[in-house]
C-alpha cells in the first residue's frame, strides 16, 4: 500500500485524492507517509578491537626516553632488521644472539661530544624487549641514552635518543625553572662512520 501511495504522491496528487484512490481515510494516508519519513537508520558496523589497536611497530629506527619520576626513566626503541643485520654483519656475529643494551650518559650542563659525560651507566636488556625501565637515576639531571649491541666486551651504539631532564625531587623556588635547558644530542660517532660494507674514516677536503 505504501508503494502505491508514494507513486500517487509522485504524480502530485493531493492527500485527499490519494485517500479516495486507495480507499483509505486521510488520517491513514498521513500516518503511512509520516512512518516512511522516520525509517530507522541502520548504524554502521562496530569496529573490532583489532581495528582500534595501535600498531606495535612503525618500521623506523627510533629511541625515545621519558621520565617516570625524579629517579625513573622509561625507554622504548624500534630498530629495523635491515639496520640490525647490517651492524651484526660488521661484528661478524649472529644478530639474533648478540646482547642488546642501553648506555646512559649524564650530560648535565655539558655540550656532549660522546666522551665528556659526568657518568656512564650500562643496562643490559632482554633479547625480545622493546622497552625498559631504568631506576635509580639522579633527580634534576640531563640524560642521553644510546641503544646498541655488546660484543667481545665492546659496546657498539646504533641509535641515540634526544636529551631528557629528570624532575627535581623537591619543590622549585619562586622564579626557578622546573627543568634545566638542554642542548640537542648528536648521532653516535661510531655509527656515523659505519656503512653497509665497512667502516670508513671521515676526511675533510682541503
The domains of the chain are located at: 2-37, 54-192
Q: What is the pLDDT of residues 121-161, one digit of tens each?
A: 999 999 888 999 999 999 999 999 999 888 878 888 889 99
Percent over 90 (pLDDT), the chain: 31
Among 62, 97, 92, 103, which residue's Cα sits nearest to residue 80? 62
Please report which confidence band the pLDDT of residue 172 belongs to, taking 50, 70 and 90 as the band edges.
low
- Average pLDDT for the chain: 78
pLDDT the model gives residue 109: 93
pLDDT the model gives residue 190: 52
Rounded CA separation 77/45 (Å): 35
Please report which confidence band the pLDDT of residue 111 belongs to, taking 50, 70 and 90 as the band edges.
very high
Rounded CA separation 40/64 (Å): 49
What average pLDDT score do residues 98-117 get? 92
Distance from CA of residue 53 to its chain's centroid?
12
Question: Which option is the CATH number for 54-192: 2.60.40.10, 3.40.50.2300, 3.90.230.10, 3.90.1150.10?
Answer: 2.60.40.10
* Residue reference for cell 651484526: 88
pLDDT the model gives residue 196: 40
Q: What is the pLDDT of residues 7-18, one digit of tens each?
A: 887 777 888 888
Rounded CA separation 48/52 (Å): 7
Amino acid at each position: 500500500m505504501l508503494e502505491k501511495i508514494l507513486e500517487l504522491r509522485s504524480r502530485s496528487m493531493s492527500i485527499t485524492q490519494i485517500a479516495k484512490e486507495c480507499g483509505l481515510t486521510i488520517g491513514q494516508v498521513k500516518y503511512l507517509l509520516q512512518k516512511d519519513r522516520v525509517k530507522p537508520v541502520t548504524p554502521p558496523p562496530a569496529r573490532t578491537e583489532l581495528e582500534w589497536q595501535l600498531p606495535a611497530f612503525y618500521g623506523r629506527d627510533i629511541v625515545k626516553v621519558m621520565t617516570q619520576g625524579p629517579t625513573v626513566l622509561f625507554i622504548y626503541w624500534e630498530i629495523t632488521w635491515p639496520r640490525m643485520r647490517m651492524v651484526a654483519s660488521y661484528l661478524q656475529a649472529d644478530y639474533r644472539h648478540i646482547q642488546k643494551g642501553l648506555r646512559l650518559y649524564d650530560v648535565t650542563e655539558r655540550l656532549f661530544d660522546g666522551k665528556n659525560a659526568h657518568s656512564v651507566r650500562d643496562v643490559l636488556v632482554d633479547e625480545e624487549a622493546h622497552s625498559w625501565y631504568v631506576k635509580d637515576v639522579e633527580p634534576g639531571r640531563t640524560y642521553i641514552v644510546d641503544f646498541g649491541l655488546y660484543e667481545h666486551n665492546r659496546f657498539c651504539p646504533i641509535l641515540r635518543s634526544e636529551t631528557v631532564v629528570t624532575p627535581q625531587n623537591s619543590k622549585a623556588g619562586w622564579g626557578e625553572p622546573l627543568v634545566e635547558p638542554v642542548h640537542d644530542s648528536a648521532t653516535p660517532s661510531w655509527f656515523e662512520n659505519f656503512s653497509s660494507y665497512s667502516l670508513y674514516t671521515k676526511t675533510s677536503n682541503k
